[in-house]
Amino acid sequence: MNARTETRNFWLLVAIGGGVTLAGLGAAWLMEEHGHAITGMDNQVVWGLPHVFAIFMIVAASGVLNVASIGSVFGDAVYKRRAPLSGLLTLALLAGGLMVLMLDLGRPERIIVAATHYNLTSVFAWNVLLYSGMFAIVAIYLWTMFERRFNHWSQAAGVAALVWRFVLTTGTGLIFGFLVARQAYQSAVLAPLFIVLSFGWGLAVFMLVQSALFAWNGQSVPGPVHRRMARLLGVFVAAALYLVAVYHLTNIYFARQHAFEAFVLLGRGDGGSGFATLFWLGFVALGSLLPLALLFHPRSSARSVLAASLLVVLGAFAFLFVFIIGGQAFPLEIFPGYQVSSSFGDGAIAQYRPSLPELLLGLGGVGAAFLLTTIGVRVLDFLPRDDKASAGAKGGD
């Protein structure tokens, strides 16, 4: 590809990313002007489709940094060459996710209050500090990798980033685990579950972006590297599927959660069939079991690995939709053992249908992450460069 064609393609990608981002900002403006009445959200389902996008990007931002951690902290040469791209994707995904999160709250200008007044008894206040700290630590981490004078600090910065991302993802899980107003959550399992989910989602995003960048530059990911990362992704997907099973089995153990588990797993109740289908078909079958078959098949090819990565990402959205929306749609049992009903709809299952502005806002965050990644790769040398020795070297997966 000559320089002129490459420049034209770059501006085309910038235009696409910018257009999607502007569409998301326009959708946020519509919701700001007309209120959430134009969305599918109501008094019961207050976190809609934009939060599904936001939580995915924030969790994946933590997980994608795992690639850099394996390289810098554990000294694996193959992954170390991918550490800069890993750090860039962390910043881009985190920025896109937080953009959606802030714009979906209804009063985005009040972020100034959240940034200057902290209620340290609130897990939401903890996350403001964790997100800000993540940006700072990853920026310093990238600086130590690009500036030769500070290369000897790269491992220390990598360890700090590793610890911080564990804490950040724990905080994201605890947002739900500490939410007593929704009995569908309230589980200590959610903190480790979100950490393990981040591993698989982040690596899947990284492999998709890496393959796209290599193809853009007329290159291909070396076969040994692709196979190693595919096996690692398979391990993460299997671990996530196991912990999701533990989470639901833990809920089933408690009698007060039987109705909720029957709602999301068996489709019992008004609208429950949609959540059950998304869980079993979207997350378990297409988002976990099929990717495992593709990743561990003896004749697995580069295309099948990319297909598996895409399925993992789609399965993540299916899981989060069931987890976030289903957890809110199911009514809170205020008086156990009694049936409660009123004209307001107490005890009734909420009906949620995502609207176009919600979808556009979520896609706007993805567009912002895409735009930041495209510009970052163009401005600085983030593209991994493998030599034959490192590509074929054996190391810890």
**According to the model, what pLDDT value does residue 342 have?**
64
* Percent of the chain whose predicted confidence (pLDDT) is above 90: 45
Residue 341 counted as domain residue: no
**According to the model, what pLDDT value does residue 238 have?**
97
Residue 8 counted as domain residue: no
Beta-carbon count within 10 A of 314 CB: 16
Is 231 in contact with 296 (CB distance < 8 Å)?
A: yes
Is 126 in contact with 171 (CB distance < 8 Å)?
A: yes
Among 39-43, 166-170, 215-219, 355-359, the minimum mean pLDDT is found in 215-219
Residue 11 has pLDDT above 80, yes or no: yes
Residue 4 counted as domain residue: no
**According to the model, what pLDDT value does residue 3 have?**
72
| CA angle (42, 43, 44) in 5-degree steps | 90
Task: Please report which confidence band the pLDDT of residue 134 belongs to, taking 50, 70 and 90 as the band edges.
Answer: very high
**Quick one: average pLDDT of 147-159?**
86
Residue 41 counted as domain residue: yes
Residue 249 counted as domain residue: yes
> Which sign, positive or negative, has the C-alpha torsion 68, 306, 53, 327?
negative
Beta-carbon count within 10 A of 43 CB: 9
Rounded mean pLDDT of the chain?
Answer: 87
Residue 220 is part of a domain; what is its CATH number?
1.20.1630.10
Residue 119 counted as domain residue: yes
Is 367 in contact with 98 (CB distance < 8 Å)?
A: no
Range of 42-46, 178-182, 263-267, 287-291 with top mean pLDDT: 287-291
**Quick one: average pLDDT of 11-40?**
91
Domain that holds residue 30: 18-334+347-384
Residue 273 counted as domain residue: yes
**According to the model, what pLDDT value does residue 218 have?**
78
The structure's pTM equals: 0.91
Please tell me the distance from the alpha carbon of residue 390 to that of residue 374, in angstroms, as a whole number: 26
Range of 12-21, 67-76, 387-396 with top mean pLDDT: 12-21
Contacting residues for 128 by C-beta, under 8 A, at least 6 apart: 114, 115, 118
| Domain count across the chain | 1
**Better-scored residue on pLDDT, 30 or 110:** 30
Task: Please report which confidence band the pLDDT of residue 345 belongs to, taking 50, 70 and 90 as the band edges.
Answer: low
**According to the model, what pLDDT value does residue 336 have?**
63
Q: What pLDDT digit, counting tens, does each position of 175-226 carry?
A: 888 877 677 787 888 999 999 999 999 999 999 999 998 888 778 888 888 8
Residue 164 counted as domain residue: yes
